[in-house]
């Protein structure tokens, strides 16, 4: 049986994943707990947009646990991260 948390996370995450680059050394704990891919001295960390309006954006890091709930494997996200980096950069 799916929990409310799982259902809400799936609904939000479907169309709102993005990548944020962080310094790997300074954000070691974040990188270890989240879906990420190292890139030079940086790590691409997957985040989920929770809310976006004229005042700004609220987001959260996609943890390994969250990815498991969504049925997302980190290898697939690694390719998605690299694709977005190439597209954006």
Predicted structure pTM score: 0.67
**Count of C-beta atoms within a 10 Å radius of residue 19:** 22
- Res. 87 pLDDT band, cuts 50 70 90: low
**Count of C-beta atoms within a 10 Å radius of residue 76:** 12
Backbone angles phi, psi at 19, to 5 degrees: -115, 140
Which residues, listed in sequence order, are joined to residue 23 by a DSSP beta bridge? 42
DSSP 8: H
pLDDT reported for residue 13: 62
């Amino acid at each position: 049986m799916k929990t409310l948390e799982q259902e809400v996370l799936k609904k939000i995450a479907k169309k709102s994943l993005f990548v944020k680059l962080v310094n790997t050394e300074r954000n070691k704990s974040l990188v270890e707990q989240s879906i990420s891919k190292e890139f030079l001295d940086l790590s691409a960390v997957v985040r989920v947009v929770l809310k976006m309006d004229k005042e700004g954006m609220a987001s959260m890091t996609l943890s390994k646990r969250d990815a498991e709930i969504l049925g997302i494997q980190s290898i697939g996200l690694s390719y998605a991260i690299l694709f977005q980096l190439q597209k954006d950069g």
